[in-house]
């Protein structure tokens, strides 16, 4: 069985104001693809749209995997919850532009999956034990740092798009 | 009595208020760098921004953890509440409230939480055997880290 090593769990980014959801969606998806996370199809586990009296409500969940090696996979999970999304018109440089306004909450989780797909047999197998104890031990810190960097960069990408404070 | 999570600051934490013009970008980036340089694992647990009529409102919750040895781990939580935030060239004008919380988590690997006997031994160990180490080693070290953060970026 594979083992999950959580690096960061449910880190929230919330924004209330004007934003272009389709553009945010595209930018975030592009970041994942550019950084080797996939698969392009099947990454989206949920997409729900509801019409509510105060505007549209949208829920999206992505689970994106980077197969860092046959033994270690890096996984980024993100959920979007958009509420009260309504169309508005703003004036920019003398021109009227149609855009959207609402509340968006994104939750980011990043973890490593060890022995992904039981590459080294089950947990009790000697192959898995030897691999974990002697070979992976040297590299696991690098994978953890990589995962941490990806998680914070991905979180920063969303904040940057929403003109929020970034690191 | 020393519990599993030993708080080194009062329950309500330490609060710092600042209003006026200051380098918010610098404060934001440098504080994170400080944690990374001092081997803390840093996370921004929550980041909320709202555009209001009197300026932007920002709420941030950070936590950072550092494993001191196999038994103890430091944890620092920082909450930022920024009101009336407006950008002025490279600086920002705002009202800033920062609250710090700090604690030492003992037996963070949960080796002594398996059954009531282990838990009893854990209690004896913390309150009689290594109490001195906790009070004279861990606590001042963590307080010193907090002092550095506050001194470097807020004074």
State the nearest Cα–Cα gap between A18 and chain B, in angstroms: 9
Angle between helices B139-154 and B24-37 (to 10 degrees): 150
State the nearest Cα–Cα gap between B128 and chain A, in angstroms: 34
Q: Which residues of A touch B45 (CB under 8 A)?
A: 10-12
Residues lower than pLDDT 50 in chain B:
none
User: Is A4's Cβ below 8 Å from some Cβ in B?
Assistant: no
Q: Across all residues in chain A, what is the average pLDDT?
A: 88
User: Is A5's Cβ below 8 Å from some Cβ in B?
Assistant: no
pTM here?
0.82
Plot region of A59 (φ>0 → left; ψ -120 to 50 → alpha; else → beta): beta
ipTM value, please give it. 0.76
Per-residue pLDDT tens digits for A46-102 = 999 999 998 899 999 999 999 988 889 999 999 999 999 998 888 878 888 888 889
- DSSP-assigned states of every residue in A98-158: EEEEEEEEEEEEEEEEETGGGTT-STT-HHHHHIIIIIIHHHHHHHHHHHHHHHHHHHHHH
User: Which residues of chain B have a Cβ shorter than 8 Å from any chain A Cβ?
Assistant: 24-25, 28-29, 32, 41, 43-51, 58, 60
Distance CA A42, CA A2 (A): 21
Distance CA A107, CA B47 (A): 10
Per-residue pLDDT tens digits for B91-125 = 889 999 999 999 999 999 899 998 999 999 999 99
């Amino acid at each position: 069985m594979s083992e999950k090593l959580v690096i960061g769990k449910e880190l929230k980014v919330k924004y209330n104001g004007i934003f272009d959801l389709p553009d945010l969606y595209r930018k975030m998806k592009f970041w994942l693809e550019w950084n080797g996370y996939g698969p392009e199809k099947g990454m989206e586990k949920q997409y729900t749209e509801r019409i509510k009296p105060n505007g549209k409500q949208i829920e999206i969940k992505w689970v994106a995997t980077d197969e860092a090696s046959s033994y270690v996979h890096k996984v980024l999970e993100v959920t979007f919850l958009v509420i009260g999304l309504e169309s508005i018109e703003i004036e920019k440089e003398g021109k009227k532009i149609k855009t959207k306004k609402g509340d968006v909450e994104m939750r980011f989780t990043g973890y490593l999956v060890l022995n992904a797909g039981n590459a080294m047999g089950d947990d009790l197998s000697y192959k898995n034990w030897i691999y974990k104890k002697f070979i992976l031990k040297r590299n696991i810190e690098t994978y953890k740092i990589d995962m941490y960097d990806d998680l914070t960069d991905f979180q920063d990408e969303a904040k940057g798009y929403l003109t929020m404070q970034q690191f | 009595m020393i519990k599993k999570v030993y708080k080194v600051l009062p329950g309500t934490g330490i609060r710092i208020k600042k209003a006026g013009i200051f380098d918010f970008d610098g404060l934001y980036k440098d504080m994170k760098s400080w944690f990374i340089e001092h081997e803390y694992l840093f996370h921004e647990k929550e980041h909320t921004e709202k555009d209001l009529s009197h300026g932007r409102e920002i709420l941030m919750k950070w936590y950072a953890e550092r494993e001191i040895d196999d038994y103890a781990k430091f944890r620092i939580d920082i909450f930022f509440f920024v009101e009336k935030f407006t950008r002025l060239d490279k600086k920002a004008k705002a009202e800033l409230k920062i609250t710090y919380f700090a604690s030492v988590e003992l037996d963070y690997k949960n080796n002594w939480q398996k059954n009531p006997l282990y838990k009893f031994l854990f209690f004896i160990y913390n309150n009689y055997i290594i109490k001195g180490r906790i009070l004279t080693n861990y606590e001042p070290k963590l307080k010193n880290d907090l002092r550095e953060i506050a001194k470097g970026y807020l004074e």
